[in-house]
């Protein structure tokens, strides 16, 4: 019985940390068999923390459903084993420094001469060419170098996005490109080489603030507000609860002015009738909205906003997420047998959610069986 659309696809991944493991975890969720190649000391993400019942939270999140094989690429026997694995693979993924696989005789061109159906995907900080190609690159370094930190945080100073957003975005870009390549291979019968630059990925995501800055309107950090939409920000209720609300267009503003602000004249007032006008008069708009929210309790404003069909959210912390009534969770089994509850994978296909009830591998857990299978 097929366990997913990628059932039968063999992925060999020479991976560590977040970007490549994110990509291959999603391929594994879709049914691919993922052979995770680890150094003798293991993926260093195994040691990031012990938050998941003594195991690394990062490792649990990104390595469910994979098989772990320990390989020393400087060892002749292990090198032969890796070649044998790649010869039978559909996809080879890695996030080593540019040129690292080529120096081991495992570069994309050489591997595709042995296996012309092979899809190779390399994830690196700055790509294979250009003035920064040889630099070491990690998530926060790219956040800073790309300018992402400059538009994140409050007015006083830049900030890191609170998750490994560059790694995650790069892993998602790699997954998408691999799926496209599998479709293409189904037509041509041949594999291809994919290169993903973390810097390029996040630069693309920064297109809107880039274009604003290029036009002479450099975005300013404004915390939990929106630089291009008003009103869009956090306001406090009479009982001290923070509410983040968003008015996306002038039609919504008319309803908001009538039903929430109880000031229908603001809908037609030229100072406030368009988003451009509201941005120019943001201080007045925000003060008016703040006063309207402050008159009501959280329960009351929730009822009013729902009735007006206004988009809004509570401002939660991680405790709030853990207790959230809308949160879907799954359990991942640990090598020692216990299991840990965490947010479920987002994709639901034909009513089934991907990645349910999987397991993370112990370091080298599958080395012996993979050696036997691949003849080394």
Model confidence band, residue 376 (pLDDT cutoffs 50, 70, 90): low
**pLDDT (tens digit per residue) in 180-197:** 999 999 999 999 999 999
Please state, in angstroms and rounded to a whole number, the distance separating the CA atoms of residues 290 and 233: 10
For the full predicted model, state whether its pTM sits above 0.95. Answer: no
**pLDDT (tens digit per residue) in 140-177:** 999 999 999 999 998 889 999 999 999 999 999 999 99
pLDDT at position 295: 95
Catalytic residues: 226
Please state, in angstroms and rounded to a whole number, the distance separating the CA atoms of residues 64 and 60: 6
Q: Which long-range contacts (CB under 8 A, 24 or more apart) does 76-83 make?
A: 77/376, 78/376, 79/104, 79/105, 80/376, 81/370, 81/371, 81/374, 81/376, 82/12, 82/37, 82/106, 83/114
Please state, in angstroms and rounded to a whole number, the distance separating the CA atoms of residues 369 and 270: 73
**pLDDT (tens digit per residue) in 313-365:** 999 999 999 999 999 998 888 888 888 988 988 888 878 787 777 889 999 99
Please state, in angstroms and rounded to a whole number, the distance separating the CA atoms of residues 18 and 164: 8
What are the backbone dihedrals phi and psi of residue 273, each rounded to the nearest 5 degrees, phi first?
-70, -20
Tokens matching residue 249: 């267009």
**pLDDT (tens digit per residue) in 10-26:** 999 999 999 999 999 99
* Three-state secondary structure call for residue 69: strand
Please return the burial class of 215, using the count of CB atoms within 10 Å of its CB with bins 0-12, 13-18 and 19+. Answer: exposed
Please state, in angstroms and rounded to a whole number, the distance separating the CA atoms of residues 272 and 274: 6
**pLDDT (tens digit per residue) in 222-270:** 888 888 899 999 999 999 999 999 999 999 999 999 999 999 999 999 9
């Amino acid at each position: 019985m097929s366990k997913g659309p990628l059932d039968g696809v063999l992925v060999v991944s020479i991976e560590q940390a977040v970007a490549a493991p994110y990509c291959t975890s999603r391929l594994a969720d879709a049914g691919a068999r993922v052979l995770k190649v680890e150094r003798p000391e293991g993926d260093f993400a195994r040691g990031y923390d012990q938050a998941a019942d003594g195991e690394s939270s990062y490792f649990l999140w990104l390595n469910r459903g994979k098989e772990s094989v320990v390989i020393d690429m400087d060892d002749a026997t292990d090198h032969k084993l890796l070649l044998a694995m790649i010869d039978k693979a559909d996809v080879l993924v890695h996030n080593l420094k540019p040129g690292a696989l080529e120096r081991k005789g495992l570069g994309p061109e050489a591997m595709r001469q042995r296996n012309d159906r092979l899809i190779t995907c390399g994830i690196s900080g700055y790509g294979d060419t250009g003035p920064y190609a040889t630099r070491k690159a990690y998530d926060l370094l790219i956040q800073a170098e790309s300018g992402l930190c400059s538009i994140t945080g409050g007015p006083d100073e830049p900030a890191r996005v609170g998750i490994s957003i560059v790694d995650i975005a790069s892993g998602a870009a790699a997954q998408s490109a691999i799926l496209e390549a599998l479709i293409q291979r189904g037509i041509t019968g041949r594999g291809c080489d994919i290169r993903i630059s973390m810097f390029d990925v996040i630069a693309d995501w920064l297109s809107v603030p880039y274009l604003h800055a290029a036009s002479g309107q450099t975005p300013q950090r404004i915390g939990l507000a929106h630089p291009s939409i008003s009103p869009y920000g956090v306001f406090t209720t009479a009982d001290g609860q923070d509410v983040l609300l968003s008015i996306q267009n002038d039609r919504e503003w008319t309803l908001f002015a009538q039903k929430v602000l109880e000031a229908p004249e603001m809908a037609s007032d030229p100072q406030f009738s368009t988003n451009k006008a509201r941005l120019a008069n943001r201080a007045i708009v925000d003060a008016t909205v703040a006063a309207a929210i402050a008159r009501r309790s959280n329960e009351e404003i929730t009822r009013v906003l729902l009735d007006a069909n206004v988009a809004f959210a509570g401002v939660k912390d991680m405790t709030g997420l853990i207790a959230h009534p809308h949160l879907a969770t799954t359990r991942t089994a640990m090598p020692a047998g216990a299991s840990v509850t965490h947010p479920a994978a987002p994709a639901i296909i034909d009513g089934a959610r991907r990645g349910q009830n999987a397991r993370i591998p112990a370091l080298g857990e599958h080395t012996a069986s993979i050696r036997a299978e691949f003849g080394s």
